[in-house]
């Protein structure tokens, strides 16, 4: 079976499956009872095609708009505005309407922009201040929303409960049974009158309704869970200026007139216009499909919602929001495209198809045998030319039994159990600070064999403090204002001035006053630590920024490992500042500031002293940075690159970032679970090694390597080297990508990778599971990831791995349980029909069995919470069979036992239970039905553990399981004792109840004995 599944249903991968593969398995699944339900949680390929068409249309539209705008530029001069804003707009205090704003940005309309007086004038028409942003006083925000709309997209609403009931009724076999029930009612009432003649038909109707309502309830709850997760995925916050203060707000609260601050890796939250910024590169591929980034500046100021900041930073004026943007229209289509189906869903669709085909064959043969038995009896009696209503009802009952065999045989619940288990796990993982973006990541994480983790913020706390500094050759500890003040007094004034200029101008952070009028440091933890140090030195952020003019900014990125800025200083000229990885910036220096405050050449002794300082800081697990500057004279062009040599070293600083509590224990658990943990960081190798040893990642067998050394290795060398690598320092995003690729393809590892920066996107995309950081991660990284770690904690990654394993094993348990019921129900009804001429289980009884094994079974077994024992076994890996030999042993053993029990009852049941009289056949069939159901109840308990004998461990903690078993038993008692007229059962005595329960219970010691049989 496994080879058939791999051949026909194995093309669908956890990530990046081709559309051909997605189409192929759908075509192979032709035995489907209810397509609406079966394919509800799979990708809607037609909607995706529609989204691609919109992208192509956008691409052409924007290209044309740019060409037209450029051609129109020469005719702009001298044009006068004939635009008059609508009365409701002017009454609200604005001078431009939403449609006019939308046409300017979306159409890249330079002509209209010029007519309206440019960006500054449009800000005025939106009643916003360039420095203070919009006012939130009184009902100002409400008026804006009324005129310009809200920044929300039209979303598909969760269908109501009755929609799910309607979809559940679309099950083909249930529809056929409903027709059978109607005919049975009609013929029964004609033959035997009301109400006696209606019992059989009403029994089937009641069973159908029960199945439909239980199924609909389960599906409805799942859809609500997915809706909650979808809402959580879309929560994005942005930095805005309102009422003169910087603050974080949800993108849904943005209104036209807002000033948004964008940095590298951010998603543009609405359509808008560029106000100010540096080196801004925008990736518009999500909207246009065009991979080449676009330069946005004062000459080309148009920013489109949904695009990404690839480089640089800027301040943007929001002009258009929500469904008025092209992104809003595209999102409405994309949201209906759905998530790709997971490999397990597809495989289990394959299993359902195989068993469904067998079920159809057995059902057809069973019906033929039963009808032939009736014909033979009539031939013997010589009454084959005269048919009564009872005999017509008998044939109808045979047909109903055959259809119900199909109901039981086609395990529609198998692929849906995956969805149920994933929905349950995703909801629970959200509480554990892990937000799953792609369904397949849950199950893939259970197979992970390697985790490539960042250091900063994942293994460490990301709460950084500058604790040591080397300035003018002097090394000092920095821990309080007093110590810093004394430190300051020992350093020449020139060195302090140039240091403060570097800290406060060459930064990606900011010091602002927040809503509570308190000083707040914004930016990455590294930037915040430096800015805090600047304040301790007595610096003034605003004064330093106003004392010079920023001419050029080269933002930090993980490839260059440094950032730079060029300042124009009155009376001095141009000065460049550089900051970044200590050894890289120091290598660009040829001078330093000595203890007298003089700039002197770097000699060998000074270089060695500074290098030793870097090594000493790093060996204490400190992150080291070097700050440097360079005088550029009186001429510099903003188009020119920053110099790469000739800098003067100002200082080397050491920033402490402690290891997170619990990380060492989590790494140890990962290792015991067969998961290798590797650290991939941009930090100094000594810092990385110190942290890795503290975390328990680096041991005597492993090696630490630097990115530049790693990337020079040949393919053969890499294959030998990679299994030993435990730490990679000074790595570039491409190094991480190469490592992940080799681990996946060369060593067949299942790789999970963490990332937070824009440049991590390729590695996150390449990995089997991409894990983005929720706090430090950029929107670009989050979008490329499969799971977002909301608290940036390595221990949460361990939780995701545990849940992944739990999902995989839970679904295996459910498959084992369901296949056993399938096999027994098929063989019992088929063999009984062939050998005795009647089926012991009626249509109503089979429908109840189907519900026990389908919806209720999935609820009980697919929602088992994870336990610590899961992390004591090896990972599944890439090539393991899903239906393992252990499962086949349990399925075959249990099926044989149950078949023997049912067959024993059919042949020796009357003698065993001392049955005689006219109701003996009905009582025997009731005993067979009751024993069969209790076999399933105890087998459900057995299925909690596939290899361990103790199946009761932790059973009371799983409230869903206990509730399902309790409800099954109670309802079984009601069916037998009180609903006999409808379910073709007879009330049993206490002795008969104990007997049938014992026969079911015997399956437990049988299961324990089976588990002692060794399998490979």
- Give the residue numbers annotated as catalytic, written as ranges: 454
The tokens for 884 are 């393992």
Q: 3-class SS at 142?
A: helix
- What is the C-alpha end-to-end distance of the chain, expressed in Å? 17
- How many angstroms separate the CA atoms of 413 and 214, rounded? 13
> Residue 782 to residues 420, 759, 772, 853: CA-CA distances in angstroms?
25, 12, 5, 39
- How many angstroms separate the CA atoms of 814 and 447, rounded? 18
The tokens for 413 are 């619940």
Burial of 138 (0-12, 13-18, 19+ CB in 10 A): exposed
C-beta of residue 733 within 8 angstroms of C-beta of residue 763: yes
User: 248 pairs with which residues across the strands?
Assistant: 239
Residue 270 CA to its chain's centroid (Å): 24
Q: Are strands 589-593 and 647-656 parallel, antiparallel or unpaired?
A: parallel
C-beta of residue 319 within 8 angstroms of C-beta of residue 272: yes
Give the containing element (helix H, strand E) for 894.
helix 885-912
The tokens for 127 are 């009643």
> Residue 590 to residues 338, 355, 502, 602, 634: CA-CA distances in angstroms?
57, 76, 18, 5, 21
The tokens for 671 are 């290792």
Instruction: Give buried/exposed letters for 150-179 (b at 16+ CB in 10 A, else e).
Output: ebebeeeeeeebeebbebbbebebbebbbe
- How many angstroms separate the CA atoms of 519 and 512, rounded? 6
Burial of 762 (0-12, 13-18, 19+ CB in 10 A): middle
Give which of 500, 556, 508 is closest to 533, Cα–Cα.
500
Q: Are strands 465-471 and 647-656 parallel, antiparallel or unpaired?
A: antiparallel
- How many angstroms separate the CA atoms of 491 and 486, rounded? 9
C-beta of residue 594 within 8 angstroms of C-beta of residue 611: no
* Peptide bond connecting 195 to the previous residue in cis, omega within 30 degrees of 0: yes
Q: 3-class SS at 529?
A: helix
Burial of 840 (0-12, 13-18, 19+ CB in 10 A): buried
How many H-runs (helices) and E-runs (strands) does the chain carry? 40, 26
C-beta of residue 951 within 8 angstroms of C-beta of residue 939: no
What single-letter DSSP state applies at residue 791? T
- How many angstroms separate the CA atoms of 545 and 564, rounded? 15
Give which of 243, 298, 295, 270 is closest to 120, Cα–Cα.
298
The tokens for 19 are 């559309």
C-beta of residue 98 within 8 angstroms of C-beta of residue 107: no
User: 985 CB contacts (<8 Å, ≥6 apart)?
Assistant: 845, 922, 925, 926, 929, 930, 975, 976, 979
What single-letter DSSP state applies at residue 425? H
- How many angstroms separate the CA atoms of 122 and 566, rounded? 30
C-beta of residue 159 within 8 angstroms of C-beta of residue 36: no
Which residue is it, tokens 């309607």? 166
């Amino acid at each position: 079976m496994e080879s058939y599944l791999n051949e026909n249903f194995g093309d669908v991968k956890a990530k990046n499956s081709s559309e051909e593969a997605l189409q192929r398995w759908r075509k192979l699944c032709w035995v489907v009872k209810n397509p609406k339900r079966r394919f509800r949680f799979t990708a809607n390929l037609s909607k995706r095609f529609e989204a691609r068409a919109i992208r192509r249309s956008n691409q052409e539209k924007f290209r044309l708009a740019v060409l037209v705008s450029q051609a129109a530029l020469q005719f702009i001069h001298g044009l006068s505005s004939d635009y008059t804003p609508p009365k409701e707009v002017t009454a609200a205090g604005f001078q431009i309407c939403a449609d006019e704003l939308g046409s300017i940005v979306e159409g890249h309309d330079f002509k209209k922009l010029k007519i309206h007086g440019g960006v500054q004038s449009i800000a005025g028409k939106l009643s916003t201040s360039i420095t203070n942003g919009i006012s939130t006083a009184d009902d100002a925000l409400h008026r804006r929303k009324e005129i310009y709309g809200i920044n929300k997209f039209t979303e598909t609403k969760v269908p109501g409960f009755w929609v799910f009931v309607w979809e559940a009724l679309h099950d083909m076999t249930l529809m056929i049974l409903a027709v059978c029930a109607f005919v049975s009612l009609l013929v029964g009432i004609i033959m035997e009158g009301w109400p006696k003649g209606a019992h059989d038909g009403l029994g089937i109707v009641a069973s159908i309704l029960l199945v439909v309502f239980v199924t609909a309830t389960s599906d409805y709850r799942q859809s609500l869970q997915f809706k909650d997760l979808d809402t959580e995925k879309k929560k994005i916050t942005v930095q805005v200026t309102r009422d003169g203060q910087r603050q974080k707000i949800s993108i849904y609260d943005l209104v036209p007139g807002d000033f948004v601050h964008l940095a590298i890796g951010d998603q543009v939250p609405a359509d808008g216009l560029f106000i100010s910024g540096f080196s801004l590169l925008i990736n518009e591929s999500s909207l246009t499909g065009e991979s080449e980034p676009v330069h946005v500046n004062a000459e080309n100021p148009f920013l489109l919602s949904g695009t990404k900041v690839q480089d640089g930073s800027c301040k943007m004026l929001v002009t258009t929001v929500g469904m008025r943007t092209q992104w809003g229209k595209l999102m409405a289509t994309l949201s209906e495209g759905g998530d790709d189906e997971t490999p397990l869903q597809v495989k289990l669709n394959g299993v359902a198809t195989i068993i469904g085909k067998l079920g159809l064959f057995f059902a057809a043969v069973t019906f033929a045998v039963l009808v032939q038995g009736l014909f033979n009896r009539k031939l013997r009696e010589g009454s084959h030319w005269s048919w009564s209503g009872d005999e017509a009802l008998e044939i109808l009952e045979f047909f109903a039994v055959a259809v119900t065999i199909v109901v039981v045989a086609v395990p529609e619940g198998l692929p849906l159990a995956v969805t149920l288990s994933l929905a349950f796990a995703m909801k629970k993982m959200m509480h554990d600070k892990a937000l799953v973006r792609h369904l397949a990541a849950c199950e893939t994480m259970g197979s992970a064999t390697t985790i490539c983790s960042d250091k900063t913020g994942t293994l460490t706390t990301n709460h950084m403090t500058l604790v040591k500094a080397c300035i003018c050759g002097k090394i000092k500890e920095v821990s309080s204002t007093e110590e810093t003040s004394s430190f300051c007094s020992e350093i020449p004034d020139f060195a302090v001035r140039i240091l403060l200029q570097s800290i406060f101008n060459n930064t990606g952070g900011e010091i602002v006053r927040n809503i509570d009028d308190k000083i707040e440091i914004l930016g990455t933890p590294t930037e915040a630590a430096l800015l805090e140090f600047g304040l301790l030195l007595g610096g003034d952020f605003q004064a330093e920024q106003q004392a010079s003019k920023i001419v050029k900014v080269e933002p930090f990125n993980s490839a260059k490992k440094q950032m730079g800025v060029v300042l124009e200083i009155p009376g001095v000229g141009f000065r460049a500042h550089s900051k970044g990885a200590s050894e890289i910036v120091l290598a660009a220096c040829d001078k330093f500031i000595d203890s007298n405050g003089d700039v002197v050449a770097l000699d060998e002794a000074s270089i060695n002293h500074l290098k030793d300082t870097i090594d000493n800081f790093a060996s204490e697990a400190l992150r080291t940075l070097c700050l440097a500057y360079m005088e550029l004279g009186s001429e510099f062009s903003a188009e020119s690159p920053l110099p790469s040599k000739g800098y003067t070293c100002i200082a080397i600083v050491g920033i402490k970032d402690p290891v997170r509590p619990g990380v060492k224990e989590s790494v140890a658990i990962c290792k015991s679970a067969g998961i290798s943990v590797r650290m991939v960081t941009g930090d100094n190798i000594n810092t990385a090694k110190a942290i890795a040893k503290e975390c328990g990642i680096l041991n005597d067998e492993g090696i630490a390597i630097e990115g530049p050394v790693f990337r020079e290795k040949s393919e053969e060398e890499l294959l030998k080297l990679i299994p030993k690598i435990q730490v990679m320092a000074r790595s570039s995003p491409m190094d991480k990508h190469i490592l992940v690729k080799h681990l996946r393809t060369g060593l067949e590892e299942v790789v999970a990778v963490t990332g937070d920066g824009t440049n991590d996107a390729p590695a996150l995309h390449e990995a089997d599971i991409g894990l983005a950081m929720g706090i430090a991660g950029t929107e670009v990284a989050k979008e490329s990831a499969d799971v977002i770690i909301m608290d940036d904690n390595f221990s949460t990654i361990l939780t995701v791995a545990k849940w992944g394993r739990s999902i995989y094993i839970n679904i295996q348990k459910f498959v084992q349980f369901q296949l056993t019921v399938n096999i027994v129900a098929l063989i019992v009804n088929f063999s009984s029909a062939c050998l005795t001429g009647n089926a012991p289980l009626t249509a109503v009884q089979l429908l109840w069995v189907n519900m026990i094994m389908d919806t209720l079974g999935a609820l009980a077994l697919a929602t088992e919470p994870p336990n610590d024992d899961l992390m004591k076994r090896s990972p599944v890996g890439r090539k393991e069979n899903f239906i393992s030999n252990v499962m086949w042993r349990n399925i075959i053993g249990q099926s044989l036992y149950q078949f023997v029990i049912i067959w024993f009852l059919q042949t020796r049941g009357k003698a065993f239970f001392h049955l005689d009289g006219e109701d003996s056949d009905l009582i025997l069939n009731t005993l067979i039905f009751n024993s069969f159901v209790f076999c399933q109840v105890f087998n459900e308990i057995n299925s909690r553990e596939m290899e361990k004998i103790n199946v009761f461990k932790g059973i009371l903690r799983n409230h869903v399981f206990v509730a399902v078993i309790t409800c099954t038993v109670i309802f079984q008692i009601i069916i037998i004792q009180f609903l006999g007229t409808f379910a073709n059962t007879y009330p049993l005595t206490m002795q008969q109840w104990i007997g049938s329960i014992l026969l079911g219970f015997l399956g437990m010691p049988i299961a324990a004995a089976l588990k002692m049989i060794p399998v490979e």
